Chain A
Amino acid sequence: AQSVTQLDSHVSVSEGTPVLLRCNYSSSYSPSLFWYVQHPNKGLQLLLKYTSAATLVKGINGFEAEFKKSETSFHLTKPSAHMSDAAEYFCVVSDRNSWGKLQFGAGTQVVVTP
């Protein structure tokens, strides 16, 4: 079985300050992990993915995430928030037993203030 817990339902940051979105996962097998972003009334856009290569993963728009197996975590960070980063962010897990089925977390709403 696989599951994802996003530890914060809402995060508010000031423009130009760092962003940290926390995610813990559970998987019976070596997982693949993803972060997706969803802007209002839009579909989901892939930010980055971890697939058992380098534990520090760089994605689009300056985001990066670090896979920590000992902590079963996959936190998403960005050094400096932009107004355009305001959106819903989903941490997602998949494993080889799930045939590509994605298990989503509940999401973290990010608000960026000027």
Chain B
Amino acid sequence: DAGVTQSPTHLIKTRGQQVTLRCSPISGHKSVSWYQQVLGQGPQFIFQYYEKEERGRGNFPDRFSARQFPNYSSELNVNALLLGDSALYLCASSSRTGLMDQPQHFGDGTRLSIL
């Protein structure tokens, strides 16, 4: 079975631009979460979606937004890019949410570089 897939794998943007990152969860998984991993640090929680509804939001500015589609895939959008947005963006899926013991399965991430 396919794991969590993310696209694109790498992306280069300039300051002020907008970017959209995409994620397809494992088949049958209804929960998708997004994390930002800055070089040398642990991932930081951005959003969680379950059944197309936002269930959690981390401490990120409103420039960050996301949505989940009926097929449970998800997009992360970042507007007005800043140099500090350069990071590896990870998507994770799990079968359910609200159940803290459900392991989250991660994709390989999208490496976003801002020039």
Contacts and interface: CB of A to CB of B under 8 A. Distances in A.
B49 to A, nearest CB: 11
B44 A49 contact: no
B108 A100 contact: no
Contacts of B16: none
Interface in A43-72: 43-46, 49, 51-52
Contacts, number: 73
A107 B33 contact: no
Contact of A107 (B41, B48, B99, B105): B41
B98 A99 contact: yes
Interface of B: 4, 31, 33, 35, 41-45, 48, 55-56, 58, 90, 92, 94, 97-109, 111
19 contacts: A32-B100, A32-B101, A41-B108, A42-B109, A43-B107, A43-B108, A45-B106, A51-B100, A94-B100, A95-B100, A99-B55, A99-B56, A100-B48, A100-B55, A101-B45, A104-B42, A105-B42, A106-B41, A107-B42
Interface of A: 31-32, 34, 36, 41-46, 49, 51-52, 90, 94-96, 98-107
Given A44-B43, A51-B101, A100-B102, 6 more contacts: A51-B100, A99-B56, A100-B31, A100-B48, A104-B43, A104-B44
